[in-house]
Amino acid sequence: MARKTTNSSKPKLLSGGNPQIPKGDGDAPVQAYIAAMPGWKQDVGRRLDALVTETVPAARKAVRWNSPFYGIEDNGWFLSFHCFTNYIKVTFLNGAALDPPPPVLSKHELVRYLHIAEDHDWNDGQLADWISQASKAPGEDLF
């Protein structure tokens, strides 16, 4: 007897509620990731994506390691984000060079983070400034 397979339209949520999205380039995989973000995190994902797109219209997008990445062609990746249980970690891959640098330190000396929790009242102006600065700095060529 043939096994009936189901093609679930919802991606699996990994530890902390992070969506498992196949590796892909362009806006479509990033939008699939955002659509699969659970609860309040989806609104934050939309807001982050819109802020990057408005601030850096030439940003390229991709999903790698179950996270959206944003970069500049021939200049590397400057930002990504990832869902955790109680917050979204926004990663500035060259964040130590930003003025002022994002608040959360990393084990990697160049990387800085911003953690956005459900009740976090974040400043679009400051975030847009960091995004703009990060997009102009040398990015990381991770893949």
Tally of domains within the chain? 1
Q: Domain range for residue 46?
A: 15-136
CATH at 120: 3.90.1150.200
Is the residue at 1 inside a domain? no
Closest CA to 58 of 139, 114, 142: 139
> What secondary structure letter does DSSP report for 47?
H
b/e code 41-72 from CB counts within 10 Å (16+ = b): bbebbeebbebbbebbeebbbbbbebbbbbbb
Is the residue at 97 inside a domain? yes
Q: What is the pLDDT along the chain (143 residues), one digit of tens a residue?
A: 444 444 456 788 898 889 999 999 999 999 999 999 999 999 999 999 999 999 999 999 999 999 999 999 988 999 999 999 999 999 999 999 999 999 999 999 999 999 999 998 888 899 999 999 999 987 777 65
Is the residue at 6 inside a domain? no
Is the residue at 35 inside a domain? yes
